Amino acid sequence: MRTISWDHGVVRMIDQRLLPHKLEVVGFTDYREVARAITEMYIRGAPAIGAAAGFGMALAAQNSRATTPAQLRADLTEAAGTLLAARPTAVNLRWGIERMLATADRLLPQGVQTAQAGLIDEAQQIADEDVAINQRMGAHGATLIADGDTILHHCNTGGLATVDWGTALGVIRSAHEQGKKIHVLVDETRPRLQGAHLTTWELQQWGVPHTLIADNAAGYFMAAGKVNLVTVGADRVAANGDVVNKIGTYKLACVARDNDVPFYCVAPTSTVDLRTPSGNQIPIEERDPDEVLYVDGVRIAPEGVRAANPAFDVTPNRLVTAIVTEKGIVYPPFVENLAKVVNT
């Protein structure tokens, strides 16, 4: 089942806020609704957000009342601004929007209706490509996993974070389907508990053995020699290989380095941002403090307590063993080797 899809003018997506207790597919008919769904995390994960951006732009084109190419381009520019503001960190959002605008510029000279139809096709192509890209990453990354390995996984990077299959969790899925006997330690991933809510749910569907652990238990398991490798996704990878990912990733990378545990990032080349030299230039989204103050609707701190809630952190490239892309596994030096794979 795809996380997001186009259904005769309706963008349908799994409402991930309800998992694992309820699987519900919701539909949106306006790009502003898609932007809200991204902000409110109906859908999350960099590749899935990129696909959502594509479908949001397709909705904007379909619903436009423009009668001239110039009017349609103006409507698309407005929609692009709204969608781009939905979440500032994940570069796939910008990538998807820019790809749709480039398609519009190519098709608009042929007329409004041609551009509208072509943008729907392009959005669908983005979604279809994502599945194929994830499966290629899975095949490359599975070579890093040996039979009998225990993998520590952070956040959620499976089919729910993509259109289907997954990035870091897709690597695990590929290794499992190859018949390798593996075990996954799933950290809960506070504050939104994507590991506890989503990753465990997906691993159950696939039949992959796993154990849920508290975020703060990761160091214990690595120090005890019970982890063979760590896998994470990325919301953006800078040109130098710095990885911006779900908050807590940097801490895991530090502990992995201290215990000589390989630390792998799995991300498509669309997540690699060669325009940004390092992670220091990437904006870090600050989310609602209530995500920290409440767990599943229950307040866990006294009234009056303030909370800070950065959604991501930056893992320096020196802590990253390798980055798995759909074009192969990229090792340091990242500045040189990332540019090669992206531009190939």
pLDDT in tens, 246-292: 999 999 999 999 999 999 999 999 999 999 999 999 999 999 999 99
Phi, psi values for residue 314, rounded to 5° = -110, 125
Phi, psi values for residue 338, rounded to 5° = -65, -45
In terms of phi and psi (left: phi > 0; alpha: psi -120 to 50; beta: otherwise), the region of 225 is left
Q: How far is CA 265 from CA 137, 272, 314, in A?
A: 11, 11, 12
Cα(305)–Cα(292) distance, integer angstroms: 11
Confidence of residue 1 (pLDDT cuts 50, 70, 90): confident
134-186: pLDDT as tens digits = 999 999 999 999 999 999 999 999 999 999 999 999 999 999 999 999 999 99
For residue 274, what are its two tokens? 């060669």
Residue 164 annotated to the active site: no
What CATH superfamily classification does 144-343 receive?
Answer: Translation initiation factor eif-2b; domain 2 (3.40.50.10470)
The number of C-alpha atoms within 13 Å of 263 and in the hemisphere containing its C-beta is: 25
Nearest to 255 by CA among 216, 313, 311, 200: 216
| Segment holding 245, helix H or strand E | strand 243-246
Confidence of residue 7 (pLDDT cuts 50, 70, 90): very high
Confidence of residue 89 (pLDDT cuts 50, 70, 90): confident
Given this structure, which CATH class describes domain 4-135?
mainly alpha
Q: What is the pLDDT of residue 123?
A: 97
Among 75, 235, 242, 273, the active-site one is: 235
Confidence of residue 296 (pLDDT cuts 50, 70, 90): confident
218-243: pLDDT as tens digits = 999 999 999 999 999 999 999 999 99
Q: What is the pLDDT of residue 222?
A: 98
Torsion 333-140-198-203 (CA) sign: negative
Kindly give the pairing relationship between strand 183-187 and strand 210-213.
parallel
305-314: pLDDT as tens digits = 999 999 999 9
Q: What is the pLDDT of residue 37?
A: 97
- SS3 label, residue 121: helix
Does pLDDT of 114 surpass 90? yes
The mean predicted confidence, pLDDT, of the chain is 96
Q: What is the mean pLDDT of residues 114-142?
A: 97
| Segment holding 243, helix H or strand E | strand 243-246
Confidence of residue 91 (pLDDT cuts 50, 70, 90): confident
Does pLDDT of 90 surpass 80? no
The pTM of the full predicted model, rounded to 2 decimals, is: 0.92
CATH 1.20.120.420 in the chain is located at 4-135
**3-state SS of 190-241?**
CCCCHHHHHHHHHHHHHCCCEEEECHHHHHHHHHCCCCCEEEECCCEEECCC
CATH 3.40.50.10470 in the chain is located at 144-343
Q: What is the mean pLDDT of residues 11-25?
A: 97
Q: How far is CA 262 from CA 82, 134, 137, 236, 251, in A?
A: 39, 21, 17, 20, 14
Kindly give the pairing relationship between strand 229-232 and strand 183-187.
unpaired
Listed in order, strand segments (DSSP E) in 90-194 are 150-153, 183-187
% of the chain surpassing 90 pLDDT: 97
188-212: pLDDT as tens digits = 999 999 999 999 999 999 999 999 9
- 299, with CB counted inside 10 A (0-12, 13-18, 19+), is exposed
